[in-house]
Amino acid sequence: MTSASRRPLMAGNWKMFKTPTEAGEFVRAFAPLVTDVTDREILLCPPFVSLAAVLAEAEGTNIEVGAQTMHFADSGAYTGEVSPPMLRELGVEAVIVGHSERRQYYNENDPDLARKVRAALDVGLMPVLCVGESEDERERGETESKLTGQLDVDLAPLAPEELPALAIAYEPIWAIGTGKTATLEMAEETIAFIRARLRALFGDAAELTRILYGGSVKAANIDDLMAQADIDGVLVGGASLDPREFARIVRFEEPA
């Protein structure tokens, strides 16, 4: 189970699902199912067009709202992009940075992601930085070198005292949307490596930084995942689209 100093973060990434109407309906169904949850943080990350609807329905609840990406610039001639100040003025509290689908389909690179992490923190957004390896990289024994490269570059602009203001999500790319899930030992071992790397870079601040697991998380495996010592929460894809399924994930049962 996660350290007492790291409050579990249960985040749902809706990807390109749910219109504003559907998003509002989700929150109205979901909020009553988690209204008494006080010992963990609940985060919903809808598409840009549904942010306002989710923010409106989540007002006065224990649900926080995040975006799925953003540009690193405050403004500029970047057609189709959204800036950190725009998200903050809307009321958004967090932003996913460097999801594997953004890296794969939109060629997001680590130097730019470092700028996004810096820009998010500068306006008071919590970055949820995603890192992870492909199946080929794992089979070649390159998981640790891949993660080291991502973390070293993506977190380069941070001072140690800033590290606890973000979350890191380990998502084995081969387990996203495939139905495959890393074994408990694999997930815990890799996340423990990430924490060790953070410790090497930032010292004791690593002990206060939440590291999440993402990759085919569902109600059926949440209790076992959250029983691992270094897993501080989850970044959930498809299972976060159903209010009852995601509520069960949020309400994971701690080991006796």
The pair of three-digit structure tokens given for residue 167, joined into one six-digit string: 């979350």
- 32 exposed, middle or buried (CB, 10 Å; 0-12, 13-18, 19+)? exposed
How far is it, in rounded angstroms, from Cα 23 to Cα 56? 10
90 burial (CB, 10 Å; 0-12 / 13-18 / 19+) is: middle
- Which of the following is catalytic: 41, 57, 71, 99? 99
d(CA 96, CA 112): 14
71 in active site:
no
- Sequence-distant (6+) residues with CB within 8 A of 114 are 153, 154, 155, 156, 157
Active site residues: 99, 171
